[in-house]
Amino acid sequence: MKKVLFYQKGTPKNQIELWNINLKKWHQDFKLIHLDDPQAHEALIALLWKAPMEIISKYKNLKALISLGQGVDHIINDINFVKNMSVYRIVDPYMAKSMSHWMILSILNFIRDYEGYRVQQIKKIYKSRNCLDFKKIKIGIYGVGEIGKVVAKDLNSLGFNILGWSRVQKDFKFFKSYHSKDGFNYMIENCDIHICLLPLTRNTKNIFNKDVFFKMKNGVCFINAGRGEHIDEKDLIYFCGNKIKLAILDVFRVEPLPKTHPFWRCKNIVIWPHVSAETNVETAAKQVAKAIKLIHAGKIPKNKINFDLGY
């Protein structure tokens, strides 16, 4: 029986069995094995999330790697990654909706001043607080791919004015799309809420830095659910409390976020532990099982990564 390698960092040991049960609902002709299994060298395919690539690169029979998430930077940006292996990612509508729900939660908390009301409750203060007019604010989404366009559409349906930015021009019916450096700068200078959902590439690393934060309007909200490396952390801290009224972060350069990190002490930063859109095994298993079947048959599944673009 064909072997498929499995490794998922930071998850319970029973995760491999959970994936095995759900994958077998759609495809039977393979055996899921752990990274340290004696038969690991026989595998042609590996299902990975933040695996030790120095070990993966030693398995010469591997032809394809499937990321157990929508991001692939943990694979292709690793210095030990060997480019003769194809890489695929999960594109799951469930994950996109989960991200959309988290974004809506974060945005509504900001514009309705949820934290202000929580403080008032503790002090037993019963009075209204100022909130933003949702019809007047602009929300900029940087990265309008499979997840970003769902977030944009859902926010649009709630009456928000949405602007989207991507590497190349894209046309959408429900929001205005920008591209290029000029388009990026326009959104940075005019939006009231900034959402980062970009893939991590050599062109997007540290894309949010002091020069960009300086151009933002005073009192904006900055939300990052892309990757921690998208922002310069020192620059973000410097601008929090003036240009940036609130930063809501779900991703960080080092995860788990170290207890000594200055983010913990910044009252203008809300920290989430990378949970905005977690992979759902039940909904993702069908496409992963199909990809395994196609690769073993010598065919190419959907969602293959272009190494030049980084996604």
First-to-last alpha carbon distance for the chain, in angstroms, is 31
Q: From CA 163, how far away is CA 214, in angstroms rounded?
A: 20
**Cα–Cα distances in angstroms (integers) from residue 46 to residues 87, 181, 207, 263, 310, in the given order:** 10, 37, 31, 35, 19
Return d(Cα 41, Cα 141) in angstroms, integer. Answer: 42
Residue 230 CB partners (closer than 8 Å, separation 6+): 196, 198, 200, 204, 205, 206, 207, 208, 224, 251
Tell me the β-bridge partners of 195: 141, 223
Q: Report the catalytic residues.
A: 227, 255, 274
Instruction: Give counts: helices (H), strands (E), the chain.
Output: 10, 12
Helix axes of 93-111 and 281-296: crossing angle, nearest 10 degrees: 140
Is residue 97 within a helix (H) or strand (E), and if so which, with residue range?
helix 93-111
Instruction: State how beta strands 64-67 and 45-49 pair.
Output: parallel
Cα Rg of the chain, angstroms: 21
Rounded CA-CA distance 226/173 in Å is 24
